[in-house]
Structure 1
Amino acid sequence: MGGLVVVGVDGSASSLAAAEVAAGEARRRDAALRVVHAFMWPALHVPLGPSSWGPPEGGLRNMTERLVAEAVERARAVAPEVEVTGGVVTGEPLTVLEEQSRAAELVVVGSRGMGGFVGLLVGSTAVHLAAHGRCPVLVVREHPEATGPIVVGVDGSAAGDKAVDFAFAEAALHGARLDALHAWTPWNAPMAPPQDASMPYANEPGALAEGEERLLAETLAGRRERYPNVSVTQRVVRGATREALIEASRAARLLVVGARGRGGFAGLLLGSVSQAVLHHAHCPVAVVRGEDEHR
């Protein structure tokens, strides 16, 4: 057992679901699991112990230790063979979890925490961690599906290569089918050299579609060889990427995307497609940053 999976908990239903999912991920990886709660109150200089008028088990410190203990218990029930530890770390959640991610191979969080506003599908900590985490970040809703394929969005970008690698590895760990989906429109497809030099913006009918089919096949080719036991379905869809991925997530157990895609603006840590699926996907979402995005 050499790897480490980290899960952030705050006592919410989605964070307890995240602890259970994280336990399964740790078991599949033969990794240890660390349950972490970010405890901000000491920095605000508020009383942490029980009130002199209340029961001895009261107080903020005891409350946080109980919620960590509950998450640890839930994780051990899912994967009793996994080494599970829990801890309360003083600090703001994003800062604490980003630091934890430096030593982890995966960080798992719930989609919305105790401080989430009613109506929001995903909380700010999950979005910010997806942008700043130093390893892949898995965002879990309250009732994740355990069946269905793993869907990965493929856009052919160098930044997206890590997401494809992660998706193949997850499919192998889960024994799941992998659906590789590439969506394109004439506005985001790279223009092939025109056949007629007198018409610099003209292409043969179907040339763009053929190019996008080729892009997906070339992206998957080497990885198919490395993961011969993973069944892969290739799908090229003409349409908006975010809508295609959200629709595909309805029947998926996991959706994997890169943090930024082919059309991303330089300097943005999280692209519009990644943000859209975090908010609207119907299954857990893993966001994977490329090598250049960690610098």
Structure 2
Amino acid sequence: MEGILVGVNGTVEADEALDWAVREASSSGHPLTVVRVAPAVDEARLTGVLEEVRAETAAILDRARERHEPFDAEYAVLPGPVPDALLTASADAQMLVLGRRRRGRIGRRVLGSVSTTVVENAKVPVTVVRHIDRPTGDPLDVPPPSDGPRVVVGVDTSTPSVAALRHAAEVAAHSGALLEPVFAWQITTLAPLPGSWGWAPPIDDYENFARECLDAAISAAEVDLPAGRLRPRVVHGQAAKVLIEASQGADRLVVGARGLGGFDRLLLGSTSRQVLDFAGCPVTVLRG
């Protein structure tokens, strides 16, 4: 299947993912396919279950059409397991979109097993659209002032992050958004500077070095946007925390599945996992 694929299951979270996918398909010009995975049943019951799920999926799509301007979409009902079905269906897609519920700000490992498996193994960009329950008085209930649509992308010069930057630039180009590449640096991640053995350079030298790294990544990604729509930022701090803060009020956060740190055996790096759990906007993950 080509274009934008969105997985639905009749929940509020999936409806929000569908709404996001409708807007993304309209903005990008890609076709939209709504995918529903039927529960695993024995062969004797499979035909009946598939028909039942097809009817439910058509109803989900009809409700979405009531919430939006007219749009074209197809739907497909596939037999499970869910991760396998979504990964197979999205192999030739431009993007796979999933919904997920965040259970609380103090919860641990809030990314579900299906989302984790899909994000870790998909060959295409995966966007996770979360429904966030916030307590009354949560300061994030009021997003910070925004100067228009904004796409944030985490950059650390790794191959996946350059791919993420290239993808984010394409999104900004077709959506008219401001692109905000963010390079989070700490002395522990940048030291030593070339030629700096045995002494500690001024802190400004580290920041300048980080800025050079970000500029090099922007060049490698061949970002071509007007100066007014490109706002590179170099921020001192832990990467996940910096990106989560930058995501507040943004339209999207884009990251590579793994950066420069971590272990090769881990398909989803710690920074990517943390932003998927706690970012304040939809998160798109690319494996590079």
| Same structural fold, with TM-score higher than 0.5 when normalized by the shorter chain | yes
Is the Cα contact below 8 Å between 1:150 and 1:177 reproduced in 2? yes
Amino acid at match of 1:262: L
**Identical aligned residues as a percent:** 32
Would you say 1:80 and 2:70 are equivalent positions? yes
> What's the CA shift for 1:48?
5.9
Equivalent positions of 1:26-41 (< 5 A) are 26-41=25-40
> What's the CA shift for 1:107?
0.3
> What's the CA shift for 1:228?
3.3
Amino acid at match of 1:80: P
Is the Cα contact below 8 Å between 1:8 and 1:15 reproduced in 2? yes
CA RMSD of aligned residues (A): 2.7
> What's the CA shift for 1:34?
1.1
Between the aligned partners of 1:71 and 1:230, the Cα distance in structure 2 is 40
> Kindly tell me: are residues 18 and 148 of structure 1, through their superposed partners in 2, closer, same or farther at Cα, counting changes over 3 Å?
same
Aligned length: 269
**Equivalent in the alignment of 2:41:** 42
Equivalent positions of 1:129-278 (< 5 A) are 129-142=118-131, 148-195=149-196, 200-205=197-202, 206-221=204-219, 223=221, 226-228=224-226, 231-278=229-276
**Equivalent in the alignment of 1:281:** 279
**Equivalent in the alignment of 2:24:** 25
Between the aligned partners of 2:230 and 2:118, the Cα distance in structure 1 is 29
Equivalent positions of 1:98-137 (< 5 A) are 98-112=87-101, 121-137=110-126
Amino acid at match of 2:70: P
Paired residue secondary structure (2:210): helix
Paired residue secondary structure (2:123): coil
Paired residue secondary structure (1:15): helix
Is the Cα contact below 8 Å between 1:237 and 1:244 reproduced in 2? yes
Point out the structure with max Rg over C-alpha.
1
Between the aligned partners of 1:237 and 1:14, the Cα distance in structure 2 is 32
Between the aligned partners of 2:276 and 2:282, the Cα distance in structure 1 is 8
Q: Deviations over 1:225-259 (max 9, x none)?
A: 53337701111111100111111111111111100
Is the Cα contact below 8 Å between 1:171 and 1:230 reproduced in 2? no
Would you say 1:14 and 2:4 are equivalent positions? no
Question: Which stretch of the first structure deviates more once superposed, 134-143 or 252-261?
Answer: 134-143
Is the Cα contact below 8 Å between 1:149 and 1:178 reproduced in 2? yes
Between the aligned partners of 1:23 and 1:229, the Cα distance in structure 2 is 29
Between the aligned partners of 2:63 and 2:115, the Cα distance in structure 1 is 21
Is the Cα contact below 8 Å between 2:149 and 2:176 reproduced in 1? no
Paired residue secondary structure (2:190): coil
Amino acid at match of 1:165: R
Is the Cα contact below 8 Å between 1:108 and 1:138 reproduced in 2? yes
**Equivalent in the alignment of 2:140:** none
Paired residue secondary structure (1:214): helix
> What's the CA shift for 1:46?
8.0
Unaligned 5+ segments in structure 1 are: 50-58, 291-295
> Kindly tell me: are residues 7 and 125 of structure 1, through their superposed partners in 2, closer, same or farther at Cα, counting changes over 3 Å?
same
Amino acid at match of 1:271: G
Q: Deviations over 1:160-191 (max 9, x none)?
A: 11100111111112211111111111111252
Paired residue secondary structure (1:122): coil
TM-score where L is the length of structure 1: 0.82
Amino acid at match of 2:251: R
> Kindly tell me: are residues 74 and 106 of structure 1, through their superposed partners in 2, closer, same or farther at Cα, counting changes over 3 Å?
farther
> Kindly tell me: are residues 251 and 10 of structure 1, through their superposed partners in 2, closer, same or farther at Cα, counting changes over 3 Å?
same
